[in-house]
Structure 1
Amino acid sequence: MLRALEIRDMLIIERLDLAFQPGLNVLTGETGAGKSILLDSLGFVLGWRGRAELVRKGAAQGEVTAVFDLASGHAARGVLEEAGLPSGDELILRRVNTADGRKTGWVNDRRVSGEVLRRLSETLVELHGQHDDRGLLDPKGHRAILDDYGTYEPQAQAVRAAWKTLGASRKELDAARKALEAVQAEEDFLRHAVAELDKLSPEPGEEAQLDAKRRMMQSAEKIREDIAQASSALGYDGAEGAMSSALRWLEGAADKADGRLDAPMEALVRAMAELDDAARGVADCLDALEFNPAELEETEERLFALRGLARKHSVLADDLAGLAETLGARLAALDAGEAQIDGLEKAVREAERAYDAAADALTEARAAAAERLDAAVAAELAPLKMERAVFRTEVSRAPEGPEGRDAVQFTVGTNPGAPSGPLNKIASGGELSRFLLALKVCLSEERDAGVTMIFDEIDRGVGGATADAVGRRLAALAEGGQVLVVTHSPQVAALGAHHWRVAKRVVDDVTLSEVVPLAPQEREDEIARMLSGDTVTPEARAAARSLLG
């Protein structure tokens, strides 16, 4: 609910502090007194796009502050949370417009963009009038309005779920087709490359092993001669025989050496053991250097084949095994691709059938809700002296999507036999106002809680009993909520729970607008003025008292 509106230096308003109340709030005044400026100022603080020049002449800046009461669970709290703004039971919007055109906004003392203000405004205020292109007159929003009116959220959720499944199925099928097309374009290459790699069957680290083996075999003949000589020098005809003889001679002399040969003999035994290990190792090396010349040729052929294939595919030889696995998987995908796509196409067809069924059910629900809404609006039009007018909610086919495949548009026919057309193009100003009011009354039970409804001269062009019917419906809408109405109709003004008069005054040749709350006697004076004009007659006062009840 809008609790307060403070305006400073906006157009012809110097300073204005308004405290609005729950129920029906009416603003009256002569044409040009500044009633529209109030709405322009409210729209400014809510981030709406409006007049470019708003700052009062001679002022450095204009400023508007709006204070709203937020009930728990109010939709504005979600917007605040998403924007990272503090939230409480009170919401304060403030916006400043400097003389050079710069605009700055705040929400609860946190600086925000105009977009945040506009998103908040969608949860706080509804504006209805002849220029209401943001609400009921915008065909883009008619489907959402009908959906709010109808009671078919389960069907709508089923459509959203079916659309999500269908989208995922189509995406998966599209990806599989693109992958198959890419693989098919290189089928000949894949089959040849995979066959070649399978035939060679490379393994990681194999190149280094082959290279080391090749180098060893190439140098084996040269080093084998040296190793054989070393083996001979270590053997029985060399060091081993000499050490064995030395040990035998020492053992023969040890008994007569009084123990002086024990240590040398022990060292000689140890040396012979080490010599034996060395001789065995040299012998093993000689055995390893024994190779068949054909083995060298085979090793070189495989090594060169590995390196050649690596150059061909621009990879390292150690990466050939991984490449073989990758290309093999792509070839397998090619071979299995057609079967996979057949399965995915079947899944898409099933998803399409599920979506069609859900969308058809939603279309039927919308059509039924449209009939109920048309009947409800027709019942409201009769008291508004438009019993011959026709309101119709047209549900037509539209491109499919997550909200179904229906387009919804409100159309009207104001004269019997005349063609129907869009609400904002067929109805005249007064008729349009009454259509909007009738529609809003029918939708009032589905409106968001805590939204302030503003009607800008919605009673234009009507009077008498029709104006009274308009006022009574506005009062009904205000029950349990808040409605602000700018009106020239005394019948509507008389039904207000709270009444403000907008007037102009001239101070030092400067025209200023002021808004004052009216006491009971002042309300009678104002309604009498609305009935009779500049000169208030006794008859007008009596009529005013009668309207006020």
Structure 2
Amino acid sequence: MLSLLQIKNFALVDRLTLEFGQGLNVLTGETGAGKSIILDAIDVVLGGKVNNRLIRQGTQHASLEATFDGNERVLQWLQEQEIDPLDDGTVVCLRELSLTGETVRSRSRINGVLVNLQLMGQFRNLLVEITAQGQTVQLMDATRQRELLDLYGGTAILKQRKLVESAYENCKKAEKTLEKRKKSEQERLQRLDLLEYQLKELDEAQLSDPNELEQLEQERDRLSHVVELQKLSYETYQLLYQNDNGEPAIADRLGEAEMLLTDMTEYDKEIEPLLEMVQSALTQVVEAGKEINGYGDRLEADPQRLTEVEERINLIKRICRKYGPDLADAISLYEKLRAELEELNDSEQSIEKLEKEYNLAYENLVKTCQDLTLLRQKAATKLEKQLVKELKPLAMDKVIFVCQITPCPPSMNGSDKVVFYFSPNPGEKIQPLSRTASGGEMSRFLLALKACFAKSEKSSSTLIFDEIDAGVSGKVAQAIAEKLHNLSETYQVLCVTHQPLVAAMAENHFRVEKQIIEELSQLQNEENGQLSLPELRTVVRVKALENIQNRREELAQLTGGHSSEDAMEFATSLLVKAESYRLGKPSI
């Protein structure tokens, strides 16, 4: 419920504070008094479009603030958006406008938290439903029309929608799993191809010893220097064991030393350890000489083996560049690739099984959507009859209304597109409501629709009607007044009206009028600087009619344009009759 509206520098309003109450609130006044400005302010504060004409002339800033009493749906939405409610449970919507040149900028806040217009638009749907002439409203939207039909259908449709939502989620989950599996299958096959190629290359390399490269390089060096090694080994042999040049070899010299030390031990036993050392050295030199001689004899050139070794070295180095950096790393990677290949081959899931699961989920979704369609069709037939019945007393007794349901792809909302078709006058082809109804017709249509929903839609939203009674009088105006009152028992209703019958039914009555006031304006003077001079300005004023006499006078003005005795008596009778209707008493 809208409890408080504060306006500053908006259109013809300089400053204005309005406190609305429960039930039916009406705004009355002369044509052009500015009643629609109040409705425009509510629209703009909740995210409506703005232009530079909405900021009061002579100012660059405007602000609009609306305070609503919260309810369960509102508080839940605030919690979802992580916006803290106020201590008293109210919600404050603020929009600030600023003018720079011809450009209007705005900022919106909910309970002090900055929000974008899209978010404010979502919140607006929980708070108010505005039906104003020349203005696009929620009811024009096919999505909203489907929601209204579902709401009208009651518990059965709402339960079925839950089943549809669950079936849709399951179907999307199965579809996502299938698509992921197909994608992973593609990736798996690509990975298998790569692994098989890499393993084939590594298998052909026959890698096992991480030291193989070092050993091969040693063998290559030996094979590449056979002649030099043979020469050096022979020279070493000559030096150690047998010298062909006639000079004693090292073994000969050590033999001589052994003989001398042996003679010395006959006189001094302490020489024996030295003797043993020389004898050991002699033995090792002789053995080394024989070994080097054998080594030299075994050496022989092998060009074919040298070629094989060099090719093997090149292969291993290429493998290391691709899979290394060293041979041990390449061998380790080979083992990992083999394990991964085995895992990929063993973890294959059946795409056919997942496709079957998806098809079953889709079939279930289609079935639940079909059941929902049947329920909607029944509700649509009932709504068509009741709505036409509600419209007849509102000067629309020849109206044709069709709630058309056409198929669309299954979604979480079912497989139906719901569009309200409407023909207000005989002989006119029915067309979508959004292209047919005028502002006044739309207001009465929504009034009748809300009358159909009075028992099924339990929300605390505020319904706003702009001149719903335009062009009607007598019984029709009385019927409108009674329907507005009946709606006000479920909703808060704000209504701009010129009908005394409607105004008399209100619990809260406001008179809107224009006044001319003197306002100081700032002028620049070359000699005296800035001057403040009086200027006549037109402003909108709103007065709450809180006593019976003020209401009589306003109703008399609406009736006859003046407060004559007859008009005052008629106004009194309207108030008495309205009070009797509200209390359930017979009309007088």
TM-score scaled by structure 2? 0.73
Amino acid at match of 2:176: A
Task: Say which of 268, 282, 288 aligns to 1:257.
Answer: 268
Partner of 2:553: 525
CA deviations 1:29-55 (Å, max 9, x no partner) are 121111111122222222211444112
Task: Say which of 364, 370, 377 aligns to 2:387.
Answer: 377
1:202–1:320 Cα contact (<8 Å) kept: no
Partner of 1:94: 94
Cα 1:170–1:359 shift into 2, 3 Å:
farther
Amino acid at match of 1:29: G
Q: Does 1:455 align with 2:453?
A: no
Return 247-256 or 363-372, whichever deviates more.
247-256
CA distance in 1, matches of 2:411, 2:344: 32
Partner of 1:216: 221
Amino acid at match of 1:143: R
Cα 1:329–1:140 shift into 2, 3 Å:
same
3-state DSSP of counterpart to 1:136: helix
Shift in Å at residue 194 of structure 1? 7.9
CA deviations 1:357-381 (Å, max 9, x no partner) are 2332332233233234334434533
CA distance in 2, matches of 1:391, 1:425: 14
Point out the structure with max Rg over C-alpha. Answer: 2
Cα 1:193–1:242 shift into 2, 3 Å:
same
Partner of 2:4: 4
1:166–1:355 Cα contact (<8 Å) kept: no
- Structure 2 stretches of 5 or more lacking a match? 243-248, 519-535, 580-588
Q: Does 1:514 align with 2:506?
A: no
1:217–1:291 Cα contact (<8 Å) kept: no
CA distance in 1, matches of 2:299, 2:485: 111
CA deviations 1:303-344 (Å, max 9, x no partner) are 556778999x999997999799999999x999x99x966666
Cα 1:214–1:109 shift into 2, 3 Å:
same
Cα 1:428–1:67 shift into 2, 3 Å:
closer
1:430–1:462 Cα contact (<8 Å) kept: no
Cα 1:191–1:422 shift into 2, 3 Å:
same
Return 23-32 or 206-215, whichever deviates more.
206-215
Partner of 1:19: 19
CA distance in 1, matches of 2:166, 2:298: 77
1:163–1:401 Cα contact (<8 Å) kept: no
Task: Say which of 437, 452, 459 aligns to 2:447.
Answer: 437
Task: Say which of 171, 186, 193 aligns to 2:179.
Answer: 171
1:210–1:303 Cα contact (<8 Å) kept: no
CA distance in 1, matches of 2:441, 2:91: 36
CA distance in 2, matches of 1:168, 1:410: 35
Cα 1:244–1:85 shift into 2, 3 Å:
farther
CA distance in 1, matches of 2:65, 2:423: 42
Cα 1:235–1:23 shift into 2, 3 Å:
farther
3-state DSSP of counterpart to 2:53: coil
1:169–1:351 Cα contact (<8 Å) kept: no
Cα 1:489–1:80 shift into 2, 3 Å:
farther
1:159–1:359 Cα contact (<8 Å) kept: no
Q: Does 1:156 align with 2:160?
A: no
Partner of 1:75: 74
Return 432-441 or 320-329, whichever deviates more.
320-329
Partner of 2:123: 120
CA distance in 2, matches of 1:243, 1:142: 119
1:14–1:56 Cα contact (<8 Å) kept: yes
1:25–1:496 Cα contact (<8 Å) kept: yes
Aligned pairs, number: 539
3-state DSSP of counterpart to 2:464: strand
Amino acid at match of 2:163: Q
Partner of 2:582: none
Partner of 1:142: 145
3-state DSSP of counterpart to 1:31: coil
Cα 1:548–1:478 shift into 2, 3 Å:
closer
CA distance in 1, matches of 2:255, 2:492: 121
CA deviations 1:52-98 (Å, max 9, x no partner) are 41122223422222222324x4436535753x544322333332323
Return 200-209 or 449-458, whichever deviates more.
200-209
CA distance in 2, matches of 1:285, 1:127: 109
Cα 1:437–1:545 shift into 2, 3 Å:
closer
CA distance in 1, matches of 2:467, 2:298: 109
3-state DSSP of counterpart to 2:138: coil
Partner of 1:474: 484
Amino acid at match of 2:165: Q
Shift in Å at residue 274 of structure 1? 9.8
- Structure 1 stretches of 5 or more lacking a match? none
Amino acid at match of 1:511: T
Cα 1:421–1:231 shift into 2, 3 Å:
same
2:365–2:410 Cα contact (<8 Å) kept: no
Shift in Å at residue 220 of structure 1? 5.4
3-state DSSP of counterpart to 1:126: strand
Amino acid at match of 1:374: E
TM-score scaled by structure 1? 0.78
CA distance in 1, matches of 2:292, 2:25: 113
CA distance in 1, matches of 2:105, 2:306: 86
Partner of 1:543: 573
1:430–1:459 Cα contact (<8 Å) kept: yes
Cα 1:512–1:310 shift into 2, 3 Å:
same
Amino acid at match of 2:538: T
Amino acid at match of 1:515: V
2:26–2:497 Cα contact (<8 Å) kept: yes
3-state DSSP of counterpart to 2:139: coil
CA distance in 1, matches of 2:121, 2:465: 19
